[in-house]
Structure 1
Amino acid sequence: MTPLNFPNNNPASASSRVGLLSRHLAAGVQHPASSSTPIAFLSTTQSPGFSSSQPSKMSSQPEHPALLIPGPIEFDDAVLQSMSHFSESHVGPGFVATFGETLSMLRKLFQTTSPSSQPFVISGSGTLGWDLVAANLAEPGDNVLVLSTGYFGDGFADCFNVYGANVDKMAGPVGGRPQLPEIETVLKSKKYKIITVTHVDTSTGVLSEIQKLSEMVKSVSPDTLLIVDGVCSVACEEIAFDAWNVDGVVTASQKAIGCPAGLSISMFSGKAIEAFKARKSPPASYFASMKNWMPIMQNYEAKKPSYFATPSPQLIHALHTALSQILAKPLSERFAKHKEASDRIKKAVADLGLKQVAGSPDDQAHGMTAIYLPESVKATDILPKLAKNGIIFAGGIHKEIAPKYIRFGHMGVSVTDPARTDIDRAIEALKSGLAECGYQKA
């Protein structure tokens, strides 16, 4: 059985993650405007059977490299144009109607029809979702079990520590996840108020299995709330909120949903809301308090003006457009396209003789791929070569393997828009970049 790690409220763990991110940024590619190396910008698109000498305009956006990191992602023109909506009152009838429709569309995205489910859209990053969970659903002294598959699982555990919960962290091996029999044994050994799981950890590309986990949790410990960190999974991996009996999912706007960063998006079950209402003490946060936000969300969805803190009308308009595009076709089709692109990318990685951080096919996400580099190639060598060819990948951030791998994000319009060639160009850029670094498949 994987040993449990019981973290203390130690600022060193948080600072070590900050250091990793700082090194990643420092090792990153130059901004095109400051680089002396010519950059091949992604300004055109080609369809099957295209002639490379006859490019067509990809979009109305300024020329730029294709952003293929695990978020933010490339955005559709219509979504970006929504951001240019004229200024309006956040309690005016036009915006209230848009916000209300946006909240209702989120129910469809999360696949919940239960009237007791409650969506939240709050200005902030995906990390705000952690605070929303920890500040409202956990009280000081409550037992919380965090299933960690990388950097972001560790971060969620840190967040609970800040709010005084008793946190047990169960981590899988690097590139793997805790297994159900192990989790079941732990759940039987102690009563937990909350269990959290990162659906896709952006640091490793490890995909957790939610449906079977939920079935086990509800069988062994039915009072325990199951909370899913879906920041890197919502809109590219299926989440059937009602059918899977999930109690909460937190996500963000800038990944597979395809809206610029700045919105914390979440959905909570009626059971989670009742757990919040049964608190013995008020939430230890003001801005992240469900007490403050719940009536606002309920009023907006009912098309009634309401106010606690000012939302971002422009971002809400962009989210409304992104959700309208997503829901224009069956969600199953969207998930299938992400799987198809993922399979193609993972085959290309294998054909190059490279391995993924997520070792088992069952543990591999469909919206990103974390790729181990050859021993002879450093991320600081290949990332600039990719950028020169108009492709931006991300460096590694998992503390145990950070220098050894890179991350390829493939979600949203880069996958679903048949007119774009981002994925094909990225695969070719990876091949040529490795060759430039002197790598040849054994």
Structure 2
Amino acid sequence: MNFTPGPTAVPPAVRDAMAEPQPNPDLEDEFTERYERLCDDLATVYGTDHDVVVPGGEGILGLESAIASLVSPGDRVLCLSNGRYGDGFADFVDSYDGEPELVSAPYDEGFDLEGIEAALEDAASDSEPFALATMVHCETPTGTLNDLDPVLDLLDEHDVLSVVDAVSSLGGTPVPTDRIDVCLGASQKCFSAPPGLTTAAISDRAWDAMAAREPSSLYTNFLPWKDVSDGFPYSHLSANVAALETAIDLLLEEGLESVFERHEDAAERCRERGRALGLEVYPEPERQSPTVTAFRRPGDATEIQQRVAEEEDVVLATGLGEMEDDILRFGHMGYNAEEENVDRAMDALESVLRDRRG
């Protein structure tokens, strides 16, 4: 059983759709019509009137493409972080010769609003405004869900474009997409489709900003996806598009409110079972995501993960980077966000912990 926070388990109907013969994405109208339906349905999931595009490439493509499409050499970019992926945005900015300014907070705390406001005011007084700001909605490595609205309020006051990584939250909890200029998702998290597709909801002013600069890349460039009536920038991943279309159909058939409630119930069940085992959740309750739970296991998370996989046939995840051996993660997202699946995974963990205690 796969109970990781992505790639997630894939429903049978999605696997079946991927196995069907596919139309030629370069030549057949049938594929273009499918792609356009998918973008329309994704706009419903995003809850937005913004354009939605679906390039071929794993979710990290979206993060890099947002930077490649919007950052020119020398542009100042405000990178807001309280996690590994927030830090990573600054690396992307640097790689495209932008000038990242990182406003960091501890991984178990919310964004540093005072620091963000000070950075925005300093930039305005220096007459060197930020071209955009980047942030992460759900930091998957720590199970942290960030409150975006206070940050978006500050960015609106200073007329700064916003780029948000919502890869691990979209489809599992509400995202304020209409307040965001580039909102990024991916197929392999709450949508429960295979890895391989990036999704992005892009505002008119973000499109305008992209059009006003010289592109630095074809593949990591959103602009060619704005109008695909004359063809796609490159041969699309037709089987992945068929799979994601089916996954989104399942989500919409269930209804978004029901989907969000199911994720909340699964998260609460996971944490309830964890508390009964004496486990501590990372971070504090007001910042815990409904899509992933991270339990603190200082120094033994990797050993427990390996034993749960070998002895109970349940695949969990640990933390990333310096926290690899200190956090054990459960991905109750998408197809796995069911209380019976949570119980199967927690039963496996309980069995291993009980055996370790003797």
Cα separation, 2, equivalents of 1:211 and 1:336: 21
Cα separation, 2, equivalents of 1:395 and 1:291: 36
- Once the two structures are TM-superposed, the CA of residue 332 in structure 1 deviates from its matched residue by 1.8
Do structure 1's residue 171 and structure 2's residue 104 form an aligned pair?
yes
Do structure 1's residue 256 and structure 2's residue 190 form an aligned pair?
yes
Q: Structure 2 residue aligned with 1:283, among 196, 215, 233?
A: 215
Q: Structure 1 residue aligned with 2:233, among 303, 308, 320?
A: 308
Q: How does 1:394-409 map to 2 (within 5 A)?
A: 394-399=317-322, 401-409=323-331
Counterpart amino acid of 1:285? S
- 1:423 corresponds in structure 2 to 342
- Once the two structures are TM-superposed, the CA of residue 379 in structure 1 deviates from its matched residue by 2.5
TM-score with structure 2 length normalisation?
A: 0.93
Could you say what the CA RMSD is over the residues aligned between the two structures, in angstroms? 1.7
- Once the two structures are TM-superposed, the CA of residue 295 in structure 1 deviates from its matched residue by 2.1
- Once the two structures are TM-superposed, the CA of residue 240 in structure 1 deviates from its matched residue by 3.1
Q: How does 1:135-214 map to 2 (within 5 A)?
A: 135-190=68-123, 191-214=129-152
Cα separation, 1, equivalents of 2:334 and 2:110: 25
Q: How does 1:108-127 map to 2 (within 5 A)?
A: 108-113=44-49, 117-127=50-60
Cα separation, 2, equivalents of 1:107 and 1:181: 33
Counterpart amino acid of 2:297? L
- Deviation string, structure 1 residues 124-153 (Cα, Å, up to 9, x no partner): 111111221111111111111111122211
- Once the two structures are TM-superposed, the CA of residue 87 in structure 1 deviates from its matched residue by 3.5
Q: How does 1:262-281 map to 2 (within 5 A)?
A: 262-279=196-213
Q: Any gaps of 5 or more consecutive residues in structure 1?
A: 1-65, 300-304
Q: Does the 8 Å CA contact 1:283/1:289 hold for their aligned counterparts? A: yes
- Once the two structures are TM-superposed, the CA of residue 180 in structure 1 deviates from its matched residue by 2.2
- Once the two structures are TM-superposed, the CA of residue 70 in structure 1 deviates from its matched residue by 0.9
Cα separation, 2, equivalents of 1:87 and 1:402: 40
Cα separation, 2, equivalents of 1:125 and 1:141: 28
Q: Any gaps of 5 or more consecutive residues in structure 2?
A: 124-128
Cα separation, 1, equivalents of 2:70 and 2:298: 44
Cα separation, 2, equivalents of 1:120 and 1:96: 12
Greater gyration radius: 1
Q: Point out 4+ residue stretches in structure 1 off by more than 6 angstroms.
A: none
Distance 1:398 1:148, change over 3 A: farther
Cα separation, 1, equivalents of 2:70 and 2:292: 30
- Deviation string, structure 1 residues 31-60 (Cα, Å, up to 9, x no partner): xxxxxxxxxxxxxxxxxxxxxxxxxxxxxx
Cα separation, 1, equivalents of 2:6 and 2:223: 30
- 2:305 corresponds in structure 1 to 383
Cα separation, 1, equivalents of 2:195 and 2:298: 33
Q: Does the 8 Å CA contact 1:103/1:120 hold for their aligned counterparts? A: yes
Give SS of 1:187's match.
helix
- 1:294 corresponds in structure 2 to 226
Q: Does the 8 Å CA contact 1:204/1:398 hold for their aligned counterparts? A: no
- 1:438 corresponds in structure 2 to 357
Q: Percent identity?
A: 29
Do structure 1's residue 132 and structure 2's residue 68 form an aligned pair?
no
Give SS of 1:328's match.
helix
Distance 1:269 1:370, change over 3 A: same
Distance 1:289 1:192, change over 3 A: same
Cα separation, 2, equivalents of 1:341 and 1:391: 17
- Once the two structures are TM-superposed, the CA of residue 185 in structure 1 deviates from its matched residue by 2.0
Q: Does the 8 Å CA contact 2:104/2:112 hold for their aligned counterparts? A: no
Cα separation, 2, equivalents of 1:151 and 1:187: 22
Q: How does 1:17-32 map to 2 (within 5 A)?
A: none
Give SS of 1:321's match.
helix
How many equivalent residue pairs? 351
Give SS of 1:123's match.
coil
- Once the two structures are TM-superposed, the CA of residue 319 in structure 1 deviates from its matched residue by 0.7
- Once the two structures are TM-superposed, the CA of residue 307 in structure 1 deviates from its matched residue by 3.2
Q: Structure 1 residue aligned with 2:295, among 359, 371, 374?
A: 371
Q: Does the 8 Å CA contact 2:301/2:324 hold for their aligned counterparts? A: no
Q: Does the 8 Å CA contact 1:382/1:437 hold for their aligned counterparts? A: no
TM-score with structure 1 length normalisation?
A: 0.76
- Once the two structures are TM-superposed, the CA of residue 374 in structure 1 deviates from its matched residue by 5.6
Q: Does the 8 Å CA contact 1:149/1:204 hold for their aligned counterparts? A: no
Do structure 1's residue 234 and structure 2's residue 170 form an aligned pair?
yes
Q: Does the 8 Å CA contact 1:381/1:437 hold for their aligned counterparts? A: no
Q: Does the 8 Å CA contact 2:69/2:222 hold for their aligned counterparts? A: yes
- Once the two structures are TM-superposed, the CA of residue 187 in structure 1 deviates from its matched residue by 1.5
Cα separation, 2, equivalents of 1:266 and 1:307: 16
Instruction: Identify the structure with the greater helix proportion.
Output: 2
